[in-house]
Structure 1
Amino acid sequence: MFDIVKGSSAPIGATPCKGGVNFSVFSKHATGIELLLFNGVDDAKPARTVRIDPSSARSYHYWHVFVPGIAAGQIYGYRVEGPQDPARGMRFDPAKVLLDPYGRCILVSEGYRRQAARAVGDNCATAMKSVVVDPASYDWEGDAPLQQFSARTIIYE
């Protein structure tokens, strides 16, 4: 295989770089994070699991790793360990495959069912998965940002 490097905390999300992809995710209360790399969206098991080392690849609450040899199109997810304290809003479950909250693309498996994903135990085969995207390679078809003053802009939330 290839050597895993600690990567960078910025930018957050999955960012294609020369020679590989940098992954960065924020979690204040996580005690461990694994990056799961898949060959296909319907895979029941990851092709590769990368455990992010908190002693060398964690900056403040940002967990990060650079994986060489992969590129845009790579399917991935996370497993996150941490406290199980529902009263405080913490429901960490390392059996669950999670989407990248900063991801730009999601794939949904043929077998996806919300009930199956929420059931107790491993949801690897039925989980939605994130995909590494390279925004620089997107064809904007001539579209460009609006030249509008911020003072004349209305934002709906």
Structure 2
Amino acid sequence: MLINYDFYDIHALIVFFRSTPEKFAAYSSSVREIMGLLKSYDGYVPDNAVRKMFRSDYNENDTLISWVLTDNRYTANLRIIKNESCYKILLRIFEEMLMTYDDKQRFYLLCDASHNIPLVLADVKKPKKTVKAMIKNYRKRYNDSFLRDELKIL
């Protein structure tokens, strides 16, 4: 399991990839590592999990994500995200990113459509309608079944 701050970090990573899609390939092993963590939904809550996973691939020229080098000290509003469907949604977003990163236009639209989803999942009690609205254009243009199954169980 992850905490809301890890979801915020995932949001920041998707924003980074939206602004620099050409960098995604260099970080794909870290993305796969995060996907492994999302799949292993269990009772363990690692500290700064997303940040630590990205450190191994971090390039010092990528100052936009230099925050991965610093452990976050959680002092307020700390919540464990317990809803397993939230993990499945994030996992599916990363799967789609891995499948589409060679198509820059599609990848950009995917990142643009999904970058706020981790924030919504962490902070909104009933996120389904909001997520559907966010991905509407991506679905219409590229993949009409994107997140369809995952949202059914949300």
* Bin for the TM-score computed over the shorter chain: under 0.3
TM-score by length of 2: 0.25
Q: Which has the larger radius of gyration?
A: 1
Query: Which has a greater percent of strand?
Result: 1
Query: Which has a greater percent of helix?
Result: 2
